């Protein structure tokens, strides 16, 4: 009897090697992207990877053109240091890094339902928001004289934050879809049947975070 059970488990590697937490994570990934078949999943993965690279390149170009090369014309020398001790050039690098960390931690925390990760992601996002709008606050208190200088600073940080967020979200989607695509043949469930069952039986439930 034992030998028969071992043979059965050997024929179903997904059931014997994947812990329940991993299976639940894969189900969550599938439900959030709704692939109709393996070809659609591969297409979603490819598009997400391309978008991630495009957004990352756009963020790099925006920083290079508007901060590294065009900062003097936009009045960066007139922007006082942040209350955290960062000059604008440094803040323009720190803000995208914080967005990257916040987005990655928040997404994986939401997939796995980890309160600590969600707390860190939310706190980091709040810090990003503060650094982004701080030039406008410095304008209000009189530390910056020109409205256009403050607006240009906040707008650049906002654009860098948005492009970084989109790049990270697309990159994470590509990575997770690639992972599920490589494992779906060994899973103890049919990923596409999960999607069909969700669409047919749970339409009244609000969709998860994309």
Domain ranges across the chain: 26-199
pLDDT of residue 161: 97
C-alpha 102/C-alpha 121 separation (Å) is 4
pLDDT at 91 over 80: yes
Please write the tens of the pLDDT for every residue from 98-116.
999 999 998 888 777 678 8
| pTM of the model as a whole | 0.80
Mean pLDDT across 175-192: 76
C-alpha 19/C-alpha 27 separation (Å) is 13
Mean pLDDT across 150-158: 94
85 vs 24, higher pLDDT: 85
Please write the tens of the pLDDT for every residue from 6-30.
444 444 444 446 666 777 777 778 7
Element (H, E) at 117: helix 115-140
Q: With CA atoms as reference, report the closest residue to 99 among 34, 184, 12, 158.
A: 158
Percent of the chain residues past pLDDT 90, beyond the cut: 40
Farthest CA pair distance, the chain: 83
CA-to-CA separations, 146 to 78, 132, 153, in angstroms, rounded: 9, 17, 11
Please write the tens of the pLDDT for every residue from 126-138.
999 999 999 998 8
172 vs 3, higher pLDDT: 172
Instruction: Supply 170's token pair.
Output: 């697309």
pLDDT of residue 205: 41
C-alpha 102/C-alpha 42 separation (Å) is 27
pLDDT at 4 over 60: no
Please write the tens of the pLDDT for every residue from 26-70.
777 877 887 777 788 889 999 999 999 999 999 999 999 999 998
Q: Are 161 and 97 a contacting pair, CB within 8 Å?
A: no
């Amino acid at each position: 009897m034992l030998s028969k059970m071992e043979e059965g488990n050997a024929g179903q590697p997904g059931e014997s090697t994947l812990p329940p937490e991993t299976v639940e994570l894969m189900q969550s990934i599938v439900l959030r992207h709704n692939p109709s078949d393996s070809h659609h999943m591969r297409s979603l993965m490819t598009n997400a990877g391309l978008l991630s690279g495009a957004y990352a390149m756009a963020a790099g170009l925006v920083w290079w053109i508007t901060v590294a090369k065009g900062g003097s014309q936009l009045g960066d020398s007139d922007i006082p240091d942040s209350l955290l001790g960062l000059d604008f050039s440094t803040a323009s690098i720190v803000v995208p890094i914080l967005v990257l960390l916040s987005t990655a931690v928040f997404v994986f925390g939401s997939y796995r339902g980890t309160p600590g990760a969600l707390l860190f992601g939310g706190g980091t996002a709040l810090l990003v928001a503060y650094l982004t709008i701080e030039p406008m606050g410095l304008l209000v208190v009189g530390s910056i004289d020109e409205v256009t200088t403050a607006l240009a600073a906040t707008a650049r940080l906002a654009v860098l934050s948005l492009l970084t967020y989109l790049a990270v979200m697309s990159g994470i989607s590509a990575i997770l879809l690639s992972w599920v695509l490589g494992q779906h043949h060994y899973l103890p469930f049919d990923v596409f049947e999960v999607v069909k069952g969700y669409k047919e039986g749970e339409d009244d439930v609000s969709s998860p975070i994309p």
